[in-house]
């Protein structure tokens, strides 16, 4: 056995060297530095026009009626590709042929449900036992350890191969929503993990950063992003905020400096996103980039990128590690792209900004109870990669009619300024809630160039009192609906088509009462579970939806205090947050195009050595507009780029369902291919037996495009 263990790797490396050093995609976004970069150079600007499909794999599990998606950036290790299906199963393929090797369904474990989306997986191998190689895969609030060779749970990890991530949070969260969409990062024998939690006006779970033992699943360290008494930053919140405020979670991924043992953690905004009257203060460590000692979880430095966030303007993607020449000196840097279109660049060890950051005065809030922070940090360089102000001259002029309708709306909402606080008249969010940069993030090359795709459209945020005019609601169900459900399903219960939220008007014709009650407990797709509501509250909401709200008596507040202590860990936020919003609304013209002038989607190359742009181009197009002679407008886009030593940038992401290759030096589009469904994911590139492949998940399902279940790999003809 000993002999075999020694012999096999040697044999393996011999085979690899014969075929010319194959290249893996061993971590989410390519490597632990989240560079999205590959040193492969077989596919080049000269030959990319010949790129053709090599294989495609139908993963199964797409659900067109639920607009299912695949956001997964696959791993490729030693010729095996690991990824997930639209319905949250993990699988392994032969990366050369696309042939399935194994599949793991978390539902095979009793009591475990599938929900949300999955952006990728983690790989760990035991340095002392070559045979112990594992894939870590999170679904809902469970982290699974799977044998990389078979897909079978590793039974020595946690309980029968999984751990419950609702444990070890430092606070009981009961039925509050908590899940993992974006993978964490592996450091030695630690799995460093973030999570996704609620961000609406309902109670939300906190978002500490945690490290688990890769072998056993035991908690090794926890960093409290909402500090406990005595911890640094505690005084940036009201007293005891750690007992009732949620959020400040790492939902978008990490970057790891393995050599230094530093993990860089971008934190989300605190809940509720749009009214912070119960969290007055600067709110450390929400909206920060935090550098933690990866071994101990101790803070080395932090920079807060938005103070007391009222816009959901949190860092949307994993940071990128780069090496730059700055003022003539070599600097190891970390860059963070933002939804607002900024790039913050810091020294990795000290957190010193490499380009100055100005604290710019911003407008005050006139919402009762709110106290907006007086300034916000804005980097002096690089220039933002999106427009910053939506003024009259930026309104669409695609047609006189579109312009007229958009102008009419424009005259009714508040004039736009960056960081204008939420208002009851309507506040323009530009770039929109999904950026600027979004979860696809940016790519970084060894020369210090950052490549970032961006959305450039406006959304409108409108704040409303949860209880209209301060009056008590007629029924508990009405009040709960206003506070929790209206943000997605709309005050008028008409849903939000662009966000894939169904209307609830007429729900009784489609669903039985017990189906709705079951749905509240489990959640479904993007809809979180509402298990934290008491049975009475769940029944009241159902009564409200089925039109017998008046039959239920008693104001919402009384219901809350009755159900409070045992249901919500003492945090009666349901009764405390007096505001909600009318939903996440893209501002569109009457034909469904963005209300602002193009570009609507862009791709940017920024030299972070100098902070100057190398090039900027549109990403994607609306064929029917191009046909009318309008230059390509770019489209809204989700999923990031990949850059290669071969001189290319690969990206799908656009609404027009294409995978594209650009010359990374010039930004010229060199090749595109129509996918079976839009690729709202980041591609991966790897080689097997000397042949370079580019693979993309074609899951569609967002922004009105169809769902799909295919992974497609491309290569040059043999």
Q: What are the residues binding ligand HEC (CB under 6 A)? A: 66, 200, 484-485, 487-489, 500-502, 504, 507, 510-511, 516, 519-520, 524-528, 530, 541
Least distance in Å: CB of 445 to ligand HEC?
37
Cβ atoms within 10 A of the Cβ of 126, count?
Answer: 13
Identity of the residue, 493 or 672, whose beta carbon is nearer to ligand HEC in the bound complex = 493
Identity of the residue, 71 or 609, whose beta carbon is nearer to ligand HEC in the bound complex = 71
Least distance in Å: CB of 64 to ligand HEC?
11
**Lookup: tokens for 9:** 């790797």
Cβ atoms within 10 A of the Cβ of 249, count?
Answer: 29
Give Cα 30 distance to the centre of its chain.
17
Q: Residue 488 phi/psi, 5° resolution?
A: -100, -45
Least distance in Å: CB of 557 to ligand HEC?
17
**Lookup: tokens for 660:** 């594209």
User: Which long-range contacts (C-beta less than 8 Å, at least 24 apart) are formed by 371-374?
Assistant: 371/276, 371/277, 371/280, 371/308, 372/308, 372/310, 372/419, 372/421, 373/282, 373/307, 373/308
Identity of the residue, 507 or 571, whose beta carbon is nearer to ligand HEC in the bound complex = 507
Nearest CA to 530 out of 578, 581, 576, 489 is that of 489
**Lookup: tokens for 654:** 């656009």
Least distance in Å: CB of 523 to ligand HEC?
8
Identity of the residue, 266 or 528, whose beta carbon is nearer to ligand HEC in the bound complex = 528
Identity of the residue, 403 or 524, whose beta carbon is nearer to ligand HEC in the bound complex = 524
Cα distance between residue 44 and residue 646, in whole Å: 5
Identity of the residue, 180 or 684, whose beta carbon is nearer to ligand HEC in the bound complex = 180
Cβ atoms within 10 A of the Cβ of 239, count?
Answer: 9
Least distance in Å: CB of 480 to ligand HEC?
6
**Lookup: tokens for 40:** 């492969």
Identity of the residue, 508 or 607, whose beta carbon is nearer to ligand HEC in the bound complex = 508
Cβ atoms within 10 A of the Cβ of 190, count?
Answer: 21
Least distance in Å: CB of 503 to ligand HEC?
7
Identity of the residue, 541 or 688, whose beta carbon is nearer to ligand HEC in the bound complex = 541
Least distance in Å: CB of 498 to ligand HEC?
12
Least distance in Å: CB of 234 to ligand HEC?
30
Identity of the residue, 52 or 65, whose beta carbon is nearer to ligand HEC in the bound complex = 65
Identity of the residue, 313 or 702, whose beta carbon is nearer to ligand HEC in the bound complex = 702
Cα distance between residue 673 and residue 49, in whole Å: 10
Cα distance between residue 435 and residue 184, in whole Å: 22
Cα distance between residue 126 and residue 133, in whole Å: 6
Whose tokens are 């929109």? That residue is 432
Identity of the residue, 95 or 484, whose beta carbon is nearer to ligand HEC in the bound complex = 484
Identity of the residue, 502 or 647, whose beta carbon is nearer to ligand HEC in the bound complex = 502
Cα distance between residue 537 and residue 557, in whole Å: 11
Give Cα 414 distance to the centre of its chain.
28
Cα distance between residue 573 and residue 578, in whole Å: 9
Cβ contacts of 154 within 8 Å, gap of 6 or more:
134, 145, 146, 147, 161
Cα distance between residue 385 and residue 453, in whole Å: 9
Cβ contacts of 566 within 8 Å, gap of 6 or more:
none
Identity of the residue, 420 or 678, whose beta carbon is nearer to ligand HEC in the bound complex = 678
Least distance in Å: CB of 199 to ligand HEC?
9
Least distance in Å: CB of 491 to ligand HEC?
13
**Lookup: tokens for 127:** 């340095």
Whose tokens are 């939220």? That residue is 501
**Lookup: tokens for 52:** 């053709």
Least distance in Å: CB of 177 to ligand HEC?
9
Cβ atoms within 10 A of the Cβ of 703, count?
Answer: 18
What b/e sequence results for 78-113 when a residue is b if at least 16 CB atoms lie within 10 Å of its CB, and e otherwise? ebbbbbbbbbbbbbbbebbebeebbebbbeebeebb
**Lookup: tokens for 462:** 């409108």
Identity of the residue, 87 or 309, whose beta carbon is nearer to ligand HEC in the bound complex = 87
Cα distance between residue 714 and residue 51, in whole Å: 6
Question: What is the dihedral angle through the alpha carbons of 10, 14, 20, 26, rounded to the nearest 10 degrees?
Answer: -20
Least distance in Å: CB of 512 to ligand HEC?
10
Identity of the residue, 198 or 281, whose beta carbon is nearer to ligand HEC in the bound complex = 198
Least distance in Å: CB of 515 to ligand HEC?
8
Identity of the residue, 649 or 677, whose beta carbon is nearer to ligand HEC in the bound complex = 677
Least distance in Å: CB of 681 to ligand HEC?
19
For residues 262 and 255, is the Cβ–Cβ distance under 8 A?
Answer: no
Cα distance between residue 515 and residue 478, in whole Å: 19
Least distance in Å: CB of 588 to ligand HEC?
19
Identity of the residue, 316 or 640, whose beta carbon is nearer to ligand HEC in the bound complex = 316
Cα distance between residue 315 and residue 290, in whole Å: 11
Give Cα 379 distance to the centre of its chain.
23
Residue nearest to ligand HEC (CB): 525
Least distance in Å: CB of 202 to ligand HEC?
7
Least distance in Å: CB of 499 to ligand HEC?
7
Identity of the residue, 551 or 630, whose beta carbon is nearer to ligand HEC in the bound complex = 551
For residues 662 and 672, is the Cβ–Cβ distance under 8 A?
Answer: no
**Lookup: tokens for 87:** 């319905």
Least distance in Å: CB of 171 to ligand HEC?
22
Cβ contacts of 123 within 8 Å, gap of 6 or more:
26, 27, 75, 77, 82, 133, 134, 135, 136, 148, 186
């Amino acid at each position: 056995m000993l002999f075999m263990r020694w012999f096999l790797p040697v044999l393996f490396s011999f085979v690899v060297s014969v075929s010319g050093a194959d290249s893996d995609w061993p971590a989410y976004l390519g490597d632990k530095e989240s560079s999205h970069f590959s040193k492969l150079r077989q596919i080049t600007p000269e030959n990319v026009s010949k790129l053709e499909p090599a294989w495609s794999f139908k993963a199964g599990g797409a659900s067109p009626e639920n607009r299912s998606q695949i956001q997964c950036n696959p791993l490729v290790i030693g010729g095996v590709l690991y990824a997930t299906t639209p319905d949250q199963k993990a699988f392994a393929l032969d990366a050369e042929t696309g042939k399935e090797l194994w599949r793991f369904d978390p539902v095979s474990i009793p009591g475990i449900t599938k929900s949300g989306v999955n952006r990728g997986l983690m790989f760990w191998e035991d340095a002392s036992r070559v045979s112990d190689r594992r894939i870590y895969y999170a679904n809902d609030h469970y982290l699974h350890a799977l044998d990389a060779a078979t897909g079978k749970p590793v039974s020595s990890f946690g309980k029968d191969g999984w751990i419950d991530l609702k444990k070890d949070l430092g606070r009981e969260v009961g039925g509050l929503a908590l899940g993992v969409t974006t993978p964490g990062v592996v450091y030695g024998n630690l799995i460093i993990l973030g999570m996704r939690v609620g961000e609406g006006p309902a109670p939300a779970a906190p978002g500490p950063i945690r490290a688990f033992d890769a072998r056993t699943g035991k908690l090794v360290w926890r960093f409290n992003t909402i500090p406990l008494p005595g911890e640094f930053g505690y005084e940036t919140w009201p007293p005891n905020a750690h007992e009732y405020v949620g959020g400040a979670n790492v939902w978008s991924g990490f970057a790891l400096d393995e050599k230094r043992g530093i993990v860089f953690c971008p934190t989300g905004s605190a809940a509720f996103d749009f009214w912070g009257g119960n969290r007055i203060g600067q709110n450390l460590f929400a909206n920060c980039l935090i550098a933690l000692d990866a071994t101990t979880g101790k803070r080395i430095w932090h920079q807060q990128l938005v103070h007391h966030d009222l816009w959901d303007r949190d860092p949307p993607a994993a940071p990128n590690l780069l090496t730059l020449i700055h003022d003539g000196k070599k600097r190891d840097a970390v860059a963070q792209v933002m939804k607002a279109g900024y790039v913050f660049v810091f020294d990795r060890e000290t957190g010193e900004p490499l380009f100055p950051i100005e604290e710019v005065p911003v407008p005050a809030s006139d919402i009762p109870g709110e106290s907006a922070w007086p300034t916000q940090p804005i980097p002096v360089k690089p220039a933002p990669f999106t427009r910053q102000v939506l003024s009259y001259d930026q309104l669409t002029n695609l047609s006189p009619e579109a312009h007229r309708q958009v102008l009419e709306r424009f005259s009714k909402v508040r004039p736009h300024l960056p960081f204008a606080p939420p208002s009851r008249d309507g506040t323009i969010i530009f770039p929109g809630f999904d950026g600027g940069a979004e979860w696809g993030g940016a790519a970084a090359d060894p020369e210090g160039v950052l490549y970032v795709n961006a959305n450039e459209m406006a959304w409108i945020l409108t704040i409303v009192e949860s209880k209209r005019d301060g009056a008590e609601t007629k029924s508990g169900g009405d009040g709960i609906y206003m506070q929790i459900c209206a943000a997605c399903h709309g005050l008028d219960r008409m849903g939000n088509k662009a966000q894939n939220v169904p209307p609830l008007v007429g729900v009784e014709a489609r669903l039985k009462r017990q189906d709705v009650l079951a749905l509240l407990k489990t959640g479904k797709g993007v809809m979180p579970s509402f298990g934290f509501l008491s049975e009475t509250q769940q029944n009241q909401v159902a009564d409200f939806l089925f039109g017998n709200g008046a039959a239920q008596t008693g104001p919402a507040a009384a219901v809350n205090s009755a159900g409070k202590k045992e249901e919500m860990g003492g945090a009666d936020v349901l009764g405390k947050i007096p505001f909600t919003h009318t939903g996440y609304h893209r501002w569109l013209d009457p034909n469904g195009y963005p209300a602002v002038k193009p570009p609507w989607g862009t791709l940017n190359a920024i030299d972070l050595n100098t902070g100057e742009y190398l090039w900027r181009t549109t990403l994607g197009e609306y064929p029917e507009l191009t046909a009318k002679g309008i230059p390509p407008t770019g489209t809204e886009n989700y999923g990031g780029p990949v850059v290669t030593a071969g001189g290319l940038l690969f990206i799908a992401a656009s609404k027009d369902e294409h995978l594209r290759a650009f010359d990374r030096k010039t930004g010229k589009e060199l090749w595109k291919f129509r996918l079976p469904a839009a690729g709202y994911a980041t591609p991966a590139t790897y080689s097997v037996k000397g042949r370079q492949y580019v693979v993309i998940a074609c899951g569609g399902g967002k922004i009105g495009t169809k769902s799909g279940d295919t992974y497609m790999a491309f290569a040059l003809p043999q």
